[in-house]
Amino acid sequence: MARFVDIHPDNPQPRLLQQVVAALHDDALIAYPTDSGYALGCRVGNREGRDRILRIRGLDDRHHFTLVCRDFSQLGQLVHVDNAAFRAIRSATPGPYTFILPGTPEVPRRLLHAKKKTVGVRIPDHVFVQALLAELGEPLLSSTLILPGETEARTMGWEIKEELDNDVDVVVECGETPAEPTTVIDWSEGAPEVLRRGAGDPDRFEA
């Protein structure tokens, strides 16, 4: 049965943050709110967590995972960013964008796209997520919580608790959560390609 943690949206309680981080260190899989709907998350080194995400979402190994980062310096350790991408991505973050880029040796091979050796990265503009990442001290392996047969991310913590009670370990509730997913930009070939139009304005990346 999943634990339900109700956290203040503007002033996350340190004690509750520490409890969520402790669960992550124990290889928990969490459902948590972001600036673009709920996501599933676990530590990067949690092999079983990765497989549980794929199973819950009904995805295969070709799925692009996302590494959720606290800031641009952390992002830069995980992916190769050329000068043009650097300026554009930095100006758009934090925000509801996911960028697909070639991974560095810091990223475990099992998290990279099998053929392209790429991975998604993003820096959310969300008080709770930023506080969680600061307390955790490392990126979070993540995937938007869109269930099989659905097209939108979940937005209500109590609904997730009811439906995924035996599939996740912690469900975080933290105020109102928007439904629109991130805008996905593939920058792995040297120029931006919009793969999904979402909450972030894609026009800034389109010629």
pLDDT at 202: 93
pLDDT at 64: 86
Quick check: 163 pLDDT over 90? yes
Reported as a single tens digit per residue, the pLDDT across 50-71 is: 999 999 999 987 788 999 999 9
- What pTM was estimated for this model as a whole? 0.95
Angle at 134 between CA 163 and CA 161, to 5 degrees: 10
Alpha carbon of residue 14 to chain centroid: 21
> Side by side, which strands form the sheet with 37-43?
3-6, 170-173, 30-34, 37-43, 140-144, 66-68, 118-122, 97-102, 183-186, 193-196
Q: Which helix (H) or strand (E) holds 161?
A: helix 157-163
83 exposure class (CB count in 10 Å sphere: 0-12, 13-18, 19+): exposed
Q: Where are the beta strands (DSSP E) in 2-117?
A: 3-6, 30-34, 37-43, 66-68, 97-102
Quick check: 152 pLDDT over 90? no
Q: What is the mean pLDDT of the chain?
A: 94
CA distance 148 to 131: 30
pLDDT at 37: 93
Reported as a single tens digit per residue, the pLDDT across 85-94 is: 999 999 999 9
Mean pLDDT of 108-129: 94
Sign of CA dihedral 130, 94, 8, 157: negative
The least confident of 13-17, 54-58, 203-207 is 203-207
Quick check: 207 pLDDT over 70? no
Q: Which helix (H) or strand (E) holds 23?
A: helix 14-25
Helix (H, G, I), strand (E, B) or coil at 101: strand
Mean pLDDT of 131-148: 96
pLDDT at 80: 96
